[in-house]
Amino acid sequence: MNVLLVDDSAEIRTRLGEMLSSLQGVARVGAVASVADARRSIALQPPDIVVLDLHMSVGSGLDVLQALRTAGTAVTTIVLTNDPSPQWRRSCLQAGAAFVFDKSAEFQRTLDVVAGLARAAMAGSGNGGRKVAATEEALRASEQRYHDLFENTADAIFTTDVDLNFTSLNGAAEALLGYTRDEARHLNVAAILTPETLEAVRHRLKEQQNGKAPSMYETEILTRAGRRVPIEVTARLIWRDGLPVGIQGIARDISERKQLEQGLRQAHKMEAVGRLAGGVAHDFNNLLTVILGLSQEIVERVPADDPSHADAAQIVSAGEFAAGMVRQLLAFSRQQIVAPRVLDLKAIVGRLTPLLQRLIGADIDLTFRTGGEPYAVQADPGQLEQVIMNLVVNARDAMPKGGTLTIETSGTVVKAPDFPDRPWMKPGEYVLLAVTDTGQGMDAETKSHIFEPFFTTKAAGRGTGLGLSTVYGIVKQCGGYIFVESNNLSGTVFQLYFPRRPVSEIVPMATMSPASRKSGGGERILVVDDNQGVRDFAVRVLTSRGYVVLAASSPDEARELAAESRGRIDLLLTDLVMPGLTGPELADALRTSSPWMKVIYVSGYTTEAITDGGVLDSSVVFIGKPFTAQHLAQRVRETLDGVTGS
């Protein structure tokens, strides 16, 4: 077969001409540098194959294609171009080209096509023309399939030379990197990788040269816009004559997967810390019940001028502070028992306004942005107020020199495509509470830890590190989501999304029940708790108020005492979680002989025994640890009198 090579580059004419001449079945390779020379050569001796450059210093490869079409010569034409864009490719094919290849990346494919046509001509002997035509059609169909796959795949496909200079990109690679094909031709891989990552890539390629098979790995690139994008990539060496001549790679943006993985790791970490916090809080609540209860008894019993009175009062103060920390731990771990109802978030914010103004001081401007309609959410009112207070205190501390604090409530509808960076957020209607400050902001490292218990950036003695972890736990217990946006020196925005409820379900704030008498009238009470300190304290409080008290350290002992009392148990005061039986199981067992018996459950944290996901059943009477003597006495009296649910 005769081949005509048309290119204005002497180097390419020489190099490609030698490669074509070495192919079996190629009898002659002619080479010309211009469109005019190409026309003369075609007129004198029509070639079987023309390999031509698209863009030349004088004229265009399209002119050669036009000349071939006008002459009616049956010639297979291969166009080489440094701009293999879809537009130029389409123009060349319409002008009569059989193949269009990337000049810098697809020399080998040019040789493969010519070699295939030459073999077909040799094998065809008498009907060589038909054989070549069939082969050309098969090669053209194969090339079209390759091109469609290359351009339409969602993965980024690229090639480089051995020095890691880009030689080609598909459309997905352009979108990923932010560079066009033309721009990428002047770009080295080093421009989109950190020095450490580039060294790792070179090491992997070196391993391939030594015989190791290519494998998929993860890395991070820097796009033209300066955005860091995690990718999953497979790169393999392209070999020719036993030597590596380039690299072919396939990459995929895994940003969404990384966000999901990060969210899952964070959720697991928070869950583990929450379990630890809940267990610690449970043990501390037992201790604090005794410490607070007995110290308050001393305060009430000892005269104010006695030195012991001041000591006991100090113990009470320290115990109350510790109890507050424990409540925050339980809120974070979502093990705090709550009694939620549907509230108007806007009304809650409005009611807190005077307190918030005093809390932040005169050097911070407090601004509210609320719509005209009520925003109904389901939450424990005390916890909701705590969320707002904690966020406001956090914002105040971030603005030591003053600034602006904005609290915004609004209704919003979340649809799946709205937040691609928050794929775990369920679509639906939400009430948004946004707290924005103009303070110091925080870096990414700080932001990744802010919801962890005891993490704080404040000076020693200025914070417990439980404020934001409490907010996190409460929002999660309400079925909501919390997000934070912040950068150094640019302020912070906390966005809290609560599932929206119908306005018709809003429950007015409850009024206080009338005070009941706190003394007993000889009623028989069975106290069951496996913690001796709590048990002894409860017995002491109730006995001093005129009740007949029986004490048991286990469910088995409680059943024995109930049997000895022959059904005369008026009230059961029992811990929720004990060895053997839970509190509700014990109550069911004792009601067979004392069907009228009232029950009060006591615990330091939530349990599914009397709650649904930490939400208290309205028919259950519950006292949270730690409790005071006054609280215990009042709750017992109210339950016996039927003031509260039994």
pTM here is 0.44
The dihedrals phi and psi of 596, each to the nearest 5 degrees, come to -85, 0
DSSP-derived letter for residue 459 is P
pLDDT band (50, 70, 90) for residue 631:
confident
CA–CA gap between residue 171 and residue 184 (Å, rounded): 12
Beta-bridge partner residues of 409? 370, 433
User: What pLDDT, in 10s, does the model give residues 30-60?
Assistant: 999 998 898 888 888 888 899 998 888 888 8
Sheet with 76-81: strands ordered across:
28-32, 2-6, 49-53, 76-81, 99-102
Listed range (140-144, 161-165, 204-208, 410-414) with the worst mean pLDDT? 140-144
What is the rounded radius of gyration, in angstroms, for the C-alpha atoms of the chain? Answer: 40
Q: Higher confidence at residue 223 or residue 196?
A: 223
Is residue 544 over pLDDT 50?
Answer: yes
- Residue type present at position 577: V
User: What is the torsional sign of CA 291, 296, 302, 307?
Assistant: positive
Provide the pLDDT for residue 555: 93
Cα–Cα distances in angstroms (integers) from residue 2 to residues 47, 114, 249, in the given order = 5, 10, 35
* Residue 493 near residue 434, CB atoms below 8 Å: yes
d(CA 230, CA 197): 12
Confidence of residue 292 (pLDDT cuts 50, 70, 90): confident
Predicted local confidence at residue 438, as pLDDT: 93
What Cα–Cα distance (Å) separates residue 41 from each residue in 10, 33, 67, 370?
17, 11, 11, 81
Instruction: Yes or no: say if 533 and 290 are a contact pair by the CB < 8 Å rule.
Output: yes
Amino acid at 310: A
74 contacts: CB under 8 Å, gap ≥ 6: none
pLDDT at 330: 61
pLDDT given at position 645:
42
The CATH class for the domain spanning 341-505 reads: alpha beta
User: Rounded CA gap, 472 and 239, in Å?
Assistant: 56
Q: Which of 3.30.590.10, 3.40.50.2300, 3.30.70.20, 1.10.3720.10 is the CATH number of 2-152?
A: 3.40.50.2300
Helical residues (DSSP H) of 342-380, grouped into ranges: 345-360
> Could you tell me which of 138, 137, 135, 139 has the C-alpha nearest to residue 127?
135
Please, which pLDDT band fits residue 127 given cuts at 50, 70 and 90? low
Determine the average pLDDT of the residues in 227-240: 87
Which sign, positive or negative, has the C-alpha torsion 132, 134, 140, 146?
negative
Percent of the chain with pLDDT over 70: 82
3-state secondary structure 485-500: EECCCCCEEEEEEEEE
Looking at the DSSP assignment, which residues form a beta bridge with residue 377?
Answer: 343, 500
Query: What pLDDT band is residue 446 in, cutting at 50, 70 and 90?
Result: confident
Distance CA 1, CA 131 (A): 13
CB 119 within 8 A of CB 136: no
Per-residue pLDDT, averaged over 271-285, amounts to 69
Q: Which CATH class is domain 524-641?
A: alpha beta
Answer for the pair 494, 387: CB distance below 8 angstroms, yes or no. Answer: no
Residue 71 and residue 54: Cα distance in Å, rounded?
19
Confidence of residue 646 (pLDDT cuts 50, 70, 90): very low
Beta bridge partners of 233: 217, 251
Rounded Cα distance between 362 and 412, Å, is: 32
The reported pLDDT for the residue numbered 517 is: 46
Q: How confident is the model at residue 118 (pLDDT cuts 50, 70, 90)?
A: confident
Backbone dihedral angles phi then psi of residue 32, each to the nearest 5 degrees: -130, 165
Q: Which two tokens stand for residue 46?
A: 């029509």
At residue 382, what is the residue type? Answer: G
Residue 349 makes CB contacts below 8 A (sequence gap 6+) with 368, 370, 388, 407, 409, 433
DSSP-assigned letters across all residues of 196-247: HHHHHHHHHHHHHHTTPPP--EEEEEE-TTS-EEEEEEEEEEEEETTEEEEE
Residue 145: is it exposed, middle or buried by C-beta count within 10 angstroms (0-12/13-18/19+)? exposed
Question: Over 50: is that where the pLDDT of 391 sits?
Answer: yes
Q: Domain spanning 156-253 has what CATH number?
A: 3.30.450.20
Q: Give the pLDDT score at 312.
A: 87
pLDDT bucket at 383, cuts 50 / 70 / 90: confident
Q: For residues 380 and 337, what is the distance between their CA atoms, to the nearest angstrom?
A: 10
Tell me which residue of 29, 98, 97, 114 sits closest to 63, measured CA to CA.
Answer: 97
pLDDT at 547: 92
Q: Residue written as tokens 């966005």?
A: 495
Residue 559 pLDDT class (50, 70, 90 cuts): very high
Mean pLDDT check: name the lowest of 53-62, 273-282, 479-488. Answer: 273-282
CB-based contact 289:529 (threshold 8 Å) = no
How do 28-32 and 2-6 pair as beta strands? parallel
Mean pLDDT, rounded, for 282-301: 83
Measured distance CA(627)–CA(534) in Å, rounded: 10
- What's residue 526's pLDDT? 95
Give the pair of three-digit tokens for residue 146.
């390759």
pLDDT band at 82 (very low <50, low <70, confident <90, very high): confident
pLDDT, residue 515, reads 41
Q: d(Cα 581, Cα 619) in Å, to the nearest integer?
A: 21
Q: Do the domains 156-253 and 524-641 sit in the same CATH topology, yes or no?
A: no
Model confidence band, residue 377 (pLDDT cutoffs 50, 70, 90)? very high
Which DSSP letter does residue 401 get? T
Rounded Cα distance, 640 and 646, in Å: 8
pLDDT in the model for residue 615:
47
Whole-number pLDDT of residue 577: 80
Contact present, 463 and 456 (Cβ < 8 Å) = yes
Residue whose pair of structure tokens reads 């929720």 in the numeric block? 576
User: Among 42, 103, 94, which residue's Cα sits nearest to residue 67?
Assistant: 42
Which range among 146-155, 520-529, 561-570 shows the weakest confidence by mean pLDDT?
A: 146-155
Domain ranges in the chain are 2-152, 156-253, 260-329, 341-505, 524-641
Token representation of residue 15: 């190099």
Hey, which residues does 370 pair with through a beta bridge?
Answer: 409
The answer to whether the CB of 243 falls within 8 A of the CB of 275 is no
Confidence of residue 277 (pLDDT cuts 50, 70, 90): low
Q: What average pLDDT score do residues 59-76 get?
A: 82
Segment 575-616, tens digit of pLDDT: 988 888 888 899 999 988 888 899 999 887 654 444 444 445
Instruction: Confirm if 337 and 614 have CB atoms less than 8 A apart.
Output: yes
Least confident span in 300-314, 317-331, 405-419, 604-618: 604-618
Distances (CA, A) of 294 to 287, 315, 601: 11, 10, 21
The answer to whether 500 touches 375, Cβ cutoff 8 Å, is yes
